[in-house]
Amino acid sequence: MKRINSLGRGKILIILNKVPFFKDFTPAEREKIIDKEATFYIANVDEYIIEQNTLDTAFYILLNGTARVTLEGVDNSLATMGPGDFFGEIAFILNTPRTSNVIANDLCILLKVDRRLLGALNAEIREKFKDQIISKLAGMIAAKNIKKSENT
């Protein structure tokens, strides 16, 4: 992946305004995220965004494009991610190796979220990031419980 340095502030705000992850953020909060030296990356087609078993404690929010989730030794993809989806949160929270691969299906623009960025933001904005993560993890648990009850 390559860090994007040339994307203008206005374009970044337009992108963030369209991404579902940021729907509960005010325009001023979105601007603060950009102002706190947020880092944006671009991934080309078939480029690994995250590699299974590597160490990295950032998670990424997909702003544009799609990506697939895979596991080593498994031929088909487990999921397809689109704008507003995020991944890498398990390694971010638990400080453990990556549990899967995430590979760009097409040109992707991503926001890297790490402890440095979150530490630079105020408590209200950090809470909104946390709320998004909790909501996703709760949804994953609920889906597993439904699947488990259907199989019994």
CATH number, residue 135: 2.60.120.10
pLDDT tens, position by position, 86-101: 999 989 989 999 999 9
Domain count along the chain: 1
Instruction: Return the pLDDT at 23.
Output: 92
Instruction: Return the pLDDT at 53.
Output: 95
CB 60 within 8 A of CB 114: no
Phi–psi pair at 22, nearest 5 degrees? -100, 15
Domain that holds residue 23: 2-150
Instruction: Return the pLDDT at 149.
Output: 77
Which residue numbers in the chain have pLDDT < 50?
A: none
Instruction: Return the pLDDT at 136.
Output: 85
The structure's pTM equals 0.88
Instruction: Return the pLDDT at 36.
Output: 77
C-alpha radius of gyration, the chain, whole number: 16
- Residue 93 is inside which H or E element, if any? helix 89-94
| Separation between Cα atoms, residue 71 and residue 124, nearest integer Å | 35
Instruction: Return the pLDDT at 150.
Output: 82
